[in-house]
Amino acid sequence: MYQRNFTESEREVKRLLQYKAKLKAAMAEETIRARQYNAALRSLKKITAETIELQRKVEDETAKLAQAASRIESAQ
């Protein structure tokens, strides 16, 4: 079988093409990861806001119950 010997410039061109292909793949992956990051960030912001709202509601209801309990005690 005949094996061709590449010249130095042919190897450099081949290496350059490999780097370009890897760069293209890396850039595509970066786009995907950036979208995933942004989606995760939006989700985190949403759940954080929901958690804060639920904590506020629990505190309000606890205060209402404490106030009602103190009214009942003072009425007796």
In this prediction, residue 8 carries a pLDDT of: 87
Q: How confident is the model at residue 75 (pLDDT cuts 50, 70, 90)?
A: confident
Contact (Cβ atoms closer than 8 angstroms) between residue 11 and residue 19 = no
For residues 34, 39, 41, 42, the Cα torsion angle rounded to the nearest 10 degrees is 140
Q: Is the pLDDT of residue 20 over 70?
A: yes
In this prediction, residue 57 carries a pLDDT of: 98
In this prediction, residue 27 carries a pLDDT of: 98
Q: Is the pLDDT of residue 32 over 90?
A: yes
Contact (Cβ atoms closer than 8 angstroms) between residue 17 and residue 9 = no
Query: What is the rounded distance in angstroms from the CA atom of residue 2 to the CA atom of residue 49?
Result: 68
Structure tokens at 69: 């309990």
Radius of gyration of the chain (CA): 32
